[in-house]
Chains A and B, each alone.
Chain A
Amino acid sequence: MNSLGIFLTLTVFYVFSKIYEKKKAFYLNPVLLSIVTIALILKGFKIEYSLYMESARILSFLLGPAVVSLAIPLYKQRMIIKKYAKEISIGVALGGLTAILSAFYIAKALGGDEAVLLSIAPKSVTTAIAIGVSEKIGGIPALTAVLVILTGILGNAIGVEILDMARIRDRVARGLAMGISSHGLGTARIILNDELSGAVSGLGMALNGIFTSLVLPYLIRFLK
């Protein structure tokens, strides 16, 4: 095994996260910039993806325990779930379905291939879970990963502004909408505005991840 993949991923990500720490602008998202930079390096030096993945796979393997670990923030926020049980359960179910169906049918209406439809369906779910769901339903996990991150960046960049324009004041509604539509990156933004919205957003993200992975593999059979 060679250490190229680990070396590239760690150093490139380190540099971009340092830049992001200095200037927290949405277009400086360190994950997206790292993906683009590493992709360009592999292309430029004609390095095969499989050679890069030999050691980089160790990092993506850790997504398994990381997804399991999401149980901890979920458990710690159980009081908020109890308090807003109705809003959260209905919001996650209908918001989660809207995210899947709208992505699928808009892409279809615009002439998307089946591989694209399957890859975009889980785009609102947190990346770690979306990658696994995409794999399960026959999508392209790499495409899903990038689409999920782009969705998150969109939420991070304009989500709060759109909620303001639509005059949504309810803090629970704002948080849930952000977490369900744009997962962790949306949560990172709304938490700066309001702590309750941020907590609800994180819950919306985790619960929508669970909801989508339970529902989408069965739903997709009817959509195809």
Chain B
Amino acid sequence: MYRGLAIIFTFLFIGEGVERLFNLPIPGNVIGLILLTFALLLGIVRLEDVEKEAELFVKNMSIMFIPPGVGIILYWELIKDQAIPIFGALLFSFLFTLLLTAKLVEFLGRRENE
């Protein structure tokens, strides 16, 4: 338990450190994610040492979005004023991304099979 948590928080802390040190516009937690992935690939960290704890965090991620999401009450007026650009972009960008990605990947896969 504590070994896994210590590893996860070590990589989070290193990620945040790298972010600050190099003044990067990339979130520190993503840097931590990239570094932990490489540490696993290189055998520096063993999967079984972090697996359970990491899966606990990943499985329970949804509840963590709620507090930042509730912050939406501070922007009620903005959303009312901007409803058309917000919801228009949401719907059409979703459809466009879904179909374009699917068609593209299907095309890539098909050529390989020929």
- Name the residue of chain A whose CB is nearest to the CB of B30: A213
**Number of residues on chain A facing chain B (CB within 8 A):** 104
A59 interface residue per 8 A CB criterion: yes
Interface SS, B side: helix
User: Are A64 and B29 in touch, CB under 8 angstroms?
Assistant: yes
Decide yes or no: A67 and B89 within 8 Å by CB, A60-B67, A62-B64 being known contacts.
no
A128 interface residue per 8 A CB criterion: yes
- Name the residue of chain A whose CB is nearest to the CB of B15: A68
In the complex, chain A residues whose CB is within 8 Å of the CB of B15: 68
User: Are B106 and A173 in touch, CB under 8 angstroms?
Assistant: yes
Picked from B33, B64, B112, the residue with its CB within 8 Å of the CB of A60 is B64
User: Are A110 and B47 in touch, CB under 8 angstroms?
Assistant: no
- Name the residue of chain A whose CB is nearest to the CB of B39: A71
User: Are A94 and B27 in touch, CB under 8 angstroms?
Assistant: no
B2 interface residue per 8 A CB criterion: no
CA of A103 to CA of B94 in the docked complex: distance in angstroms?
Answer: 8
User: Are B82 and A68 in touch, CB under 8 angstroms?
Assistant: no
User: Are B41 and A75 in touch, CB under 8 angstroms?
Assistant: yes
User: Are B72 and A146 in touch, CB under 8 angstroms?
Assistant: yes
In the complex, chain B residues whose CB is within 8 Å of the CB of A127: 61, 65
Report A's interface with B, CB cutoff 8 A: 5, 9-10, 12-13, 30-32, 34-35, 38-39, 42-43, 49, 52-53, 56-57, 59-60, 62-76, 78, 86-87, 90-91, 94-95, 98-99, 102-104, 106-108, 110-113, 115-116, 120, 123-124, 127-129, 131-133, 135-137, 140-143, 145-147, 149-151, 154-155, 159, 162-163, 166, 168-170, 172-174, 176-178, 180-182, 184, 209-210, 213-214, 217-218
User: Are A91 and B105 in touch, CB under 8 angstroms?
Assistant: yes
Interface size range on B against A:
35 or more
Report B's interface with A, CB cutoff 8 A: 5, 8-9, 11-12, 15, 25-30, 32-34, 36-37, 40-41, 47, 50-51, 53-55, 57-58, 60-75, 78-79, 82, 84-86, 88-106, 108-110, 112
Picked from B60, B99, B112, the residue with its CB within 8 Å of the CB of A162 is B99
A sample of 8 inter-chain contacts (CB < 8 A) reads: A31-B66, A63-B61, A70-B58, A102-B89, A132-B29, A155-B94, A173-B101, A177-B98
